[in-house]
Structures are given as structure tokens and as C-alpha cells.
A and B are shown apart, each in its own frame.
Chain A
Amino acid sequence: MVTLRRSETVALPAPARMSRVGPLEKRERRLFLTFLAPGLVLAIGAIFIPVLYAIQLSFYHAESFIDTPTFVGLGNYLRIFADPRYWEAFWHGILYAVLTVSLQVVIGIAIALLLHQEFRGRSWLRSASLAPYILPTVVVVYIWTWLLNMNHGLINAFLDRLGIGAVGWFETPLASWFTIVFVSVWHWTPFVIITFLAALQTISEDLYDAAAVDGTNAWQRFVYITMPVLKPVLVVIIMLRTIFMFNKFDIVWLLTRGGPLTATEHLPILAYQKTFAMFDIGGGTAVATSIFLFLTLLIWLYFRLFPLEEN
């Protein structure tokens, strides 16, 4: 049996000779800046300024947005890091991100591989698979809240009919965790599917044919042909999804509000609670800033471990 090695099987095209691109001509530079300006202004106004303002507020104590803030230095940070509730929320966020991203990636790749095959109705199924992703999050939550309702939900009615009995999907911490992970995966997996599906289109069928002729099985073709091509996409997807899911506020808040008790509370919910509910603007923005710093560190570490460029 021939062992497939990457260098033998994936024939890389000869590197194109790239023409030297010199610095922009002065008038081209003006054109460049003119087109860049609106986006830059928007980014500065809608992203950078609010982020910097929030970071600034984290060094102050204020009980509302109309209160006169008092400078407290690192006091807010010392306070939140000494609070066990912060660390409980931190680990909840890690758990939520790990569970949801793992499931999204595994299920996403599986469905993408399925949708990559030729079969009747494939186009329709590809469109249908995107449906959960295009629904607004609030709609998704409302749908599932009703479906999973203890007394009036269709799911429990169906389980009752089967003789299994109704399940309290929000009644215990474990059930609540299952619910938030399930709904999150249902809502966001299509994004992963479509990204991997696009990546799969770049693999030439000839490679699979040649590999099949060489006597490889489906798993070997997946490991030695498909995965190497998917790897850069996988690296980016895992990074993006991890950031998204660690920061995901809406689904968890709308489903459980961090409950029961604080069983599903993570850092974004804690930041929201402190800022808008507990009259602790400084504490809330300190939590938010800590999320930003943590994710920045995570991204840096991630790209050190999994660089996009191959040496």
C-alpha cells in the first residue's frame, strides 16, 4: 500500500513570479485614503472610542452613567479578581466556549463533507442547512424556549407520548447547560458548515481519484487530503468561534439569564449585571476589559502554537 505523503500527493503550483509593487503613488495614496476614510471613521467612532472609554471607566467608580466618576486606579480590578463569582463565571465561559466550538467544528465538518457529496436535492439541503444561522438570535431563543417549555412545549409533549416523560430543560444546572450548548450549536454550526464547504471546493477531485486508485480508504483520504487543506481554515474557524462563543451574551442571557442561581453565568453576563443592574459601572467595565485582555492573550498564544503560514 502506498503511503501518501503530502509532497507527493498535493502538487503545489509553481510559485508565481510576483511583480514588485512599489509604494503607492502620491495620487493613488490619496485615492486609497479617501476610500478608506469612511470605514476608518466608523471603526474609530463605533469601536475604538467606546472600547477606550470602557477601559477608562474601569479605573473609576461610578454608580450610573450620569454619576460623577471617582478615580480608584486598579481598585476595581483587585475587587473583581478577589471575587469568587468572577472566577466561577470565567470557567463557565471557558467550558461554554470549549463545548460549543468543539461540537460546532465536529458537526460542521461532518455536515460539510456530507453536503460536498453529489446527491439529488443537494442544493436544497445546502440552503436549508443555513436556516438556523440566518434567523435572528432572539427568534431562535423564542422558538426554543417555547419548544422546550415544561408544560406547553412540543418536545416534552412528544417525549410524553413516547412514555419518556417531560424533561425540565431549565430546571437544573446540568439541564440548563445542555440547553444553552444545544441551542448555541444549533444556531451557529451553519457558519462552520458553509466555511468548510467553501474550503472543500478548492480540493481537486483528481486528488481523491488518484488516492482511490492507490487503494486508500475514506478515512485515509480524509486525513491525508482533506484535513491538510482544511487546516488553515480550521485554525481560523476555531479562533473566531472561540472568541465569539466566549463573548456570547445574547443566547445565554435570553435562555437562562445566567441561572439557575449563577450556574450558567459567564463573564459577559457578569459584566452586564455589574454595569447595568448593580450600579457598578467600574466593576462591570473592569470585567469587560479583562475579557478583552484575556482574548488578546489567547489569540497571541494561539497563533504562536498554530501559525497560519507553514515554515
Chain B
Amino acid sequence: MQHTRMRRRRFLQTLGAAGGAALLGSTGLVSPARAAKKTTIRFFNNETDPNTIAFLKQIAKEYQDVAGVHIKVETVPVLKTWTKVTTAIKAGKPYDFITFGQVTHPLLLVPERKIVPVTDIVREVGLEDFGPRAITWYQDQVWMYPYDYNFNYLIYRKDWFEEKGLQVPNTWDEYLQVLAALNDPKNKRYAYTMPISSGGHTNWGNTGWLWAAGVKIYDDEWNVILDSPEIKPRVVGTLEFLTKAAQYTPPGLLETSLKDMLINFTSGLSAITTYTGRLIHTIEDRAPELADKYGIMAYPAPDGGPRAVTFANDGFSIGNTRNTEATLEFFRWFLKNGKLVDYQLTVAVHYQPPQYSTYKNEKWRSHPLVKKHWSAIEVMLDFMNTDKTRVGSIQLEGPGPSPNQGRIWNSYVIPKMYQQVLLKRLTPSQAVDEAAKEIRSFTKKG
């Protein structure tokens, strides 16, 4: 039938045109195909500050000019690191150079041999240059090169303290007295912003009180000791303390997020919050008038003992890929040419260097923000002093790296424990028992 022949002719014409276009287009692929034989290092970045991203793009270009190696930087939010890295491995496209937000994650890749040790590089730099807890050994090797301690601590309005004649508190009772003195809801001034909702912000931003009280979750054999006769009273004490502190927080306790922790402080709603040096950058950006009106302190202990900070430890790892050698070469170039300091200076007061030499590095010290906020940095240095400051973290619990720490983190069992008490669903003792029960249900030994 003529009708059918016409339709088929048109179809064949269309197919021919499409095929021709594809052929023409494929000639453009020749150059990229040739270029693909050049080494490309896939760089996984989870630092989302625009300055850091811009710096990495610049480094990529610089290294390409120097070594002819293409660096492809991909940025993903820090909380998505584990998912993204493991799914990339599963998809057969593993990252060559990886930024991690906590040391547990790279160590989980070691049994599957998905990363290579960086022990030699660390030794080349010098082990003694690294502060306490900066280097984590696993199977006698170092698997992550740290660039930021990421301590969480308290930041307070010095001017409000002075106005009320208050001193930096050294015990929990003193802290509550300070909160009571600072709290002025009628004038929309609240004493303390703290997170309790389920999320990484609470795991990191409001566990300092637990570490200050000497709380432990596991013993050295992965037995849960949170509800043991020795530890439970400390946890109960912390929950009772937080319940009292909660009456001095701005409304909306359950919706307090990282942004509220920053905004409440910089907008003058709250006298005290918890964060890292990133808050200092937020002050510089949004409330520069506060630049000389803040102070920082570690979390006081219940009875005046060693204060505590929470620890997260960001670092770099090298993937076990076909580009491992090229990546190690890139990393050595990165370190030898001072690029690590440049990287840390992209958010100068937020990235707390774990290497002592950085604090003596002239370029680092002479950065305007470092100079301006040197008094805060001196306090941050105290956090590296194990005689003065306890360092705690979910990721440090137990005898070694394990998915157990990741499960505690991701199950939000600690924020839920807080919520049970603050929403008055359970007594502190019941909440501790409930949390311990949940942790036991997902803990795997060995």
C-alpha cells in the first residue's frame, strides 16, 4: 500500500538523519577519547564552603598545568559522604582522593581494601608534628591524613557576661546560674541555644556535656555500659542538667538546627551557643560588630574537673584504584607546596589544624582573620592539650573503628534520649535504659 511505503520511507529517512547526526557528533568524541587516556583523579570533596570549593578548582587547574593530570572535583554535603563513597565503589567508579568528616568511615573501608595507607606520607611529615588524637592507627597503619580537628565547643557573648558581672563558669551549677542571669525572654534575649532534635548537629553539637561528665558508651569489648552502675548516674546527671538548661533556651528547642545555632547567636537572640570556628566566620560575615564581643570555652565538667570538647576530625584518604600512584603523587605535591595551609586558610578560623607546625607557619599566622581572632585560637590550642581538655566523640567509643559507632550516630539514639526526657515521656533513668537497650540491639561485637 502506498500509505505504508510512504510511512516507511519517512521512517528510514528519519533514521538515516539521526544516524548521520550521531556519526558527525561522534567525531567530536575523538578528542575527549584521546584525552581520556590522560590520568584523571576523581576528588571527592565534602567541604561545601564556597571558598574551599573555589580553591580546589584552582588547585586542580594548577596541578594539571604542572603534571598534566586532570583533577575532577565533586562536592557532596558531608553527611552524605559514606553513602556517596560506597555507592561509587559499588558502581565501579571509586573516588581516588576522598575527604572524610570522621575517621570511622575510612577505617570501615580498610577490611575491603578500598583505601591505601598514608603512613609513609605522615612519617615524611613527622608523627611528632601531629597533636593528640589527630592520627588514628588501625592495623598498624594510618589511613586518613587529618586537616581539621573540628572540635565543638561553647561560644558566648563576652559583653553580656561583663554587663551582668559574670565569670566563665567552671561547674554545672555555675553554668546554670550564668544561664539564669543571662536569660531575659521579655526582651527576646535567651541564654543558651542548644540542639536536641535528631541529627548530626545534636550528635556533634550537644554531646560535650556527656564527655565532660565522663560518660562512656562501650567498654573495650563492645559491651554497652551506658546503663552500668558506674556510668548511668553520670548520664542521668547530664539529662537532669540539660532539662534545667532547657528552660533558658529560645522557643523551638526541637527545631534548633545548625543554622539556628549560628543565627541565634549572631542575631543577638542567644548569649551562648555551640559550634566551631565557623561561627566566627559567620560573625565576620553577618555581625562584624560582635567580632570582639565573643569568647569560647570548652564544656565545663559537673564538678570543676577537666573540661571537654567534642571531636570529629576531618581528613583525606587515598582510594585503592588504578590511579593510586598518581593520587599519592598529587597528595605529596599538595603537601610539599604548602597547599594544605592554603586549603585550611579558605575558612581560616574554622579549620583547626592538627599539626603544631601550622601554628608556627608564617603564612597561616599572618592571615588577617587568624591575627584578628588569635585569642580564640589560643583557647583552641588548649583543646589539644590532654591535661586541660577531655576529648570525646561517638566515633571514639569502643575499642576500635566499627559500624557500631556509625549506627549510634545515624540512629540518633542520643538525641532521642534527650527528647524522651525533655518531652517528658520518660524519666532520665528510663531514657538511659531505653537508649542502652537500643544500642545493644544493633551493636555487633568483633
Interface residues of A (CB under 8 A from B): 25, 27-28, 31, 63-67, 149-152, 166, 168-172, 257-262, 273, 276-280
Q: Pick the residue among B90, B251, B267, B425 that contacts A150 (CB under 8 A).
A: B251
Residues on the A chain within 8 Å of B150, using CB: none
Interface residues of B (CB under 8 A from A): 4, 7-8, 11, 82-83, 86-87, 89-90, 108-109, 112, 114, 197-199, 250-255, 260, 263-264, 267, 269, 403, 406-407, 410-411, 416, 419-420, 423, 425, 442
Q: List 21 A-B contacts (CB under 8 A).
A: A31-B7, A64-B108, A65-B90, A151-B260, A168-B254, A171-B253, A172-B254, A172-B423, A257-B198, A259-B198, A259-B254, A260-B197, A261-B419, A261-B420, A273-B411, A276-B82, A277-B407, A277-B411, A279-B403, A279-B406, A279-B407
Q: How far is the CB of A125 from chain B (nearest CB, A)?
A: 34
Q: A149-B252, A257-B197 are in contact. List 11 more A-B contacts (CB 8 A).
A: A27-B8, A31-B11, A64-B108, A66-B90, A149-B260, A150-B255, A169-B255, A170-B255, A259-B197, A260-B254, A261-B419
Q: How far is the CA of A152 from the CA of B255 in the complex (A)?
A: 12
Nearest 9 CB-CB pairings of A with B:
A150-B252, A277-B410, A65-B90, A170-B255, A279-B403, A65-B86, A259-B198, A171-B254, A150-B251
Q: How far is the CA of A150 from the CA of B252 in the complex (A)?
A: 5
Assess A278 versus B411: contact at CB under 8 Å? Given A67-B112, A151-B264, A260-B197. Answer: yes
Give the one of A170, A260, A262, A277 with max B CB within 10 A.
Answer: A260
Residues on the A chain within 8 Å of B197, using CB: 170, 257, 259-260
Cβ–Cβ contact B423 & A261, under 8 A: yes
Residues on the A chain within 8 Å of B416, using CB: 261-262
Cβ–Cβ contact B423 & A170, under 8 A: no
Residues on the A chain within 8 Å of B254, using CB: 168, 170-172, 259-260
Residues on the B chain within 8 Å of A278, using CB: 407, 410-411, 442
Q: How far is the CB of A27 from chain B (nearest CB, A)?
A: 7
Cβ–Cβ contact B263 & A166, under 8 A: no
Residues on the A chain within 8 Å of B250, using CB: 150-151
Give the one of A27, A152, A261 with max B CB within 10 A.
Answer: A261
Q: How far is the CA of A65 from the CA of B252 in the complex (A)?
A: 37
Residues on the B chain within 8 Å of A152, using CB: 263, 267
Residues on the B chain within 8 Å of A166, using CB: 251-252
- Please name the residue on chain A nearest to B112 by beta carbon: A66
Residues on the A chain within 8 Å of B420, using CB: 261
Give the one of A28, A169, A171 with max B CB within 10 A.
Answer: A171
Q: How far is the CA of A171 from the CA of B253 in the complex (A)?
A: 7
Residues on the B chain within 8 Å of A65, using CB: 86-87, 89-90
Q: How far is the CB of A36 from chain B (nearest CB, A)?
A: 14
Cβ–Cβ contact B407 & A259, under 8 A: no
Cβ–Cβ contact A171 & B263, under 8 A: no
Cβ–Cβ contact A259 & B269, under 8 A: no
Residues on the A chain within 8 Å of B263, using CB: 152
Q: How far is the CA of A66 from the CA of B264 in the complex (A)?
A: 41
Residues on the B chain within 8 Å of A63, using CB: 403
Residues on the A chain within 8 Å of B109, using CB: 66
Q: How far is the CA of A152 from the CA of B269 in the complex (A)?
A: 10
Residues on the A chain within 8 Å of B112, using CB: 66-67
Q: How far is the CA of A66 from the CA of B86 in the complex (A)?
A: 6
- Please name the residue on chain A nearest to B190 by beta carbon: A151
Q: How far is the CA of A261 from the CA of B419 in the complex (A)?
A: 7
Q: Pick the residue among A28, A31, A258 that contacts B198 (CB under 8 A).
A: A258
Q: How far is the CA of A260 from the CA of B417 in the complex (A)?
A: 11
Q: How far is the CA of A28 from the CA of B5 in the complex (A)?
A: 11
